[in-house]
A and B are shown apart, each in its own frame.
Chain A
Amino acid sequence: SQQGEEDPQALSIQEGENATMNCSYKTSINNLQWYRQNSGRGLVHLILIRSNEREKHSGRLRVTLDTSKKSSSLLITASRAADTASYFCATSGTYKYIFGTGTRLKVLA
């Protein structure tokens, strides 16, 4: 069953703009992670936020987590053409990770 659901499904922006993607989930979590997938490749881990954290930064990435609303957002600032990819959130309980269906981001040069 899919727990994480990303919104929007697709997003197209100009280079230099910010991109925001949202993720909603259904049950309690230990942590939430965001991954990027370039076309035809595997997923690459971007950032992990623990259930007791509200915000985390990594370079141009900013992730927030609201456990009361069971939602998270990923903000990419000053986007570049190289950021074009699909982005997935993943929630984890014990061993298992549950991935959402992803947001396809296209950054236009």
Chain B
Amino acid sequence: SQTIHQWPATLVQPVGSPLSLECTVEGTSNPNLYWYRQAAGRGLQLLFYSVGIGQISSEVPQNLSASRPQDRQFILSSKKLLLSDSGFYLCAWNPGQGYGYTFGSGTRLTVV
């Protein structure tokens, strides 16, 4: 069966520090991978998605970047965090069109 792992679960970082959040999927190959951010427990905003190794599409210009160094690994990064980067970050995957998403358990990021 397929599983998705996301870590860490919570993170408190100072303004200006770097960020690296990791997401991995097991039990499947060539998944579509996504990073979403959720502010204040409401709407989900798509940040990045990837349909293959090294292929990253950005939905919203911002202080963040994403990379996919391996087929089942998706990384969200920042060189210098801003206060506005605080939020709940969710990784998700799907095998293709029409299958919906499976989400990870999320990372609660607080920038102080």
- Do A and B assemble together? no
**Residue positions of B touching A, CB distance < 8 A:** none
Q: Which residues of A contact B (CB under 8 A)?
A: none
